[in-house]
Amino acid sequence: MGKIILTTILTTAFGVMFTGCGESEESKRNLELLSREAEAQRLLREEAAAERLRRIEEARKWHRIQMEAYEKSMTPEKE
């Protein structure tokens, strides 16, 4: 997946570098749109990864709380 992103970005970068080499206005717009789409997809992936990590951390937190409550309920009270 990372290779696809890198390829898209490099292709876009090369396209931008060579825009003055006889390309039409439509080609320039297409390259710009591809670049914007690649950036939007990257941002969405980053947001999804951050959300996934947040959910994992939240699940770990609740698991710790549950385990502490379980251990507390299983420990005999001292008199």
- What's the whole-model pTM score? 0.53
Angle at 66 between CA 64 and CA 70, to 5 degrees: 115
pLDDT value for 25:
84
* CA-closest candidate to residue 34, choices 2, 5, 8: 8
> What are the per-10-residue average pLDDT scores of the chain (79 residues)?
74 68 78 92 96 97 95 80
